[in-house]
Amino acid sequence: MKKRVLSVGQCVPDDGALLRFLTSHFDVELVRSPDKEDALKRIRTEQFNLITVNRKLDADYSDGMDVIQSIQQDPDINTTPVMLVSNYPDAQEKAVQIGAEYGFGKMEYEKPEVVERVGKFLK
């Protein structure tokens, strides 16, 4: 059965790159979500194996950390692993501090450690 990934706040080209990365390594379906409100609604009503959140949401340039924090603070939905999509190590560390798994940057898709990190949730 296909694993499901919710992609929050990516622009169309970045979602395409994320989809190519994921489908080249895993049997997944990617579901796009433009913003925090839509993402929280989807997480409450649909099952996902992994949630990826862009550091800055493309729709309104709001902070992806707010999305992660909202997910982590809600015991009804904080059971799905969340990863930040950011090339900045300090942003990754901050995301981990608020409850996310260590994520990855857009320039790291083919790194074996990123495939392994994501694979923990999608194999």
Single-letter amino acid code for the residue at 50: L
| The pLDDT value given to residue 31 | 98
pLDDT digits (tens, 9 = 90+) for 108-117: 998 999 999 9
Has this prediction a pTM greater than 0.85? yes
| The pLDDT value given to residue 55 | 97
Instruction: Give every residue of the chain whose pLDDT is below 70, as ranges.
Output: none
Length of the chain: 123
| The pLDDT value given to residue 71 | 98
Cβ-proximal residues to 84 (8 Å cutoff; 6+ apart), any chain: 52, 53, 54, 55, 64, 65, 68, 91, 92, 95, 100, 103
Nearest-angstrom CA–CA distance, 20 and 47: 21
| The pLDDT value given to residue 1 | 86
**Residue (of 39, 3, 10) closest to 119 by Cα position:** 3
